[in-house]
Chains A and B, each alone.
Chain A
Amino acid sequence: MKRWLSPAALVLAVVLPWIATAQAKETEAAAIRWAHSWKEAVEMARDRNAVIFATFHKDN
């Protein structure tokens, strides 16, 4: 017996992953991309002729 997805289920199946992807992209876009070490930052700054923004924090 063939089983068919109802139109509503079909719409959800298509739309939900799209929403999840869009949300993931939004989260990604809202976060700073940090260099993983001082050396990496300096080398990349030289390669890209770019300025480094360095910020220092502590808990509380």
Chain B
Amino acid sequence: MLENEDFVKFANENVICVVGHNDTGHKAEVEDAKGKMSPGCALYPGMECKQHQDIYSEVGRPPDGMPKIELPNGVPNSWLVGPDGTVQKIEPADQQSAGKVQELLEALQKPAGKAIGWKDYEKLSSAFEAGAKAVEAGDWKAALVAYQQVEKKAGKMPASVGERLGKGVEALNAKVVEAFEALKAAEDVAQRDKDMKALRAKVSAKLGPKALPVLADIDAWLKANPAPKPAK
């Protein structure tokens, strides 16, 4: 079943696949023609034997809040876990049938609503990564551009995307608040005014209907601290 091309395509796009295998003696992938070593397990490409061995034991004693699978003694056995943590065993008679497993996966997905496909998830992850990197680098404008890309799609996606976006925006706002506070303390009044207006320009783009909360504080401060009149 795991070699069934249609199932592989379906699973890679729509499902999170996990394999537990309590043996570690699988032949490692070898050195390629350019001399590059590809470490890992030849049986489960992209994994190392230790990882599929660890999964075998992790599912039975997961950290708090994570779903638990009570593995029987015999193998193979297969399971489905819904986004809400519901665990469902696939009956032995069904587990080798790609069509039946796909049917069960789709049935469990249905009440949870649409999943984010792998391609969309990759795009989202890139945008989140770009946003976080820009925040770290102090490039507020670039961070807002990255989060705007997410915001445009968030409304049609699962709530998890909105939550993740909220955390990213919160971190961005906190960093801008730090920059705002530092600028307020600057002594050169003319330069301070110039820099404050530059900061405002960088963070004025809206995320959907909302601006960053710090923008209102900057505006209030600029109103209360008008630009000094040029000396005659």
Main secondary structure of the interface of B (DSSP, over half): mixed
A32 contacts partner chain B, Cβ-Cβ < 8 Å: yes
Name the residue of chain B whose CB is nearest to the CB of A60: B23
Selected from A34, A37, A46, A53, the residue in CB contact (under 8 A) with B83 is A46
Main secondary structure of the interface of A (DSSP, over half): mixed
Inter-subunit contact B80/A51 (CB<8 Å): yes
B residues with CB within 8 A of A: 2-3, 5, 8-9, 11-12, 14-23, 25, 44-47, 51-52, 54-56, 58-59, 62-63, 66-67, 69, 71, 75-83, 95, 101, 105, 108-109, 112-116, 118, 121, 158, 160-161, 164
Within the complex, what minimum Cβ distance (angstroms) separates B32 from chain A?
11
Within the complex, what minimum Cβ distance (angstroms) separates B97 from chain A?
13
Inter-subunit contact B21/A45 (CB<8 Å): no
A residues with CB within 8 A of B: 29-39, 41-42, 44-59
For A46, list chain B residues within 8 Å (CB).
Answer: 83, 160
Given contacts A50-B109, A51-B109, A36 and B51 within 8 Å (CB-CB): yes
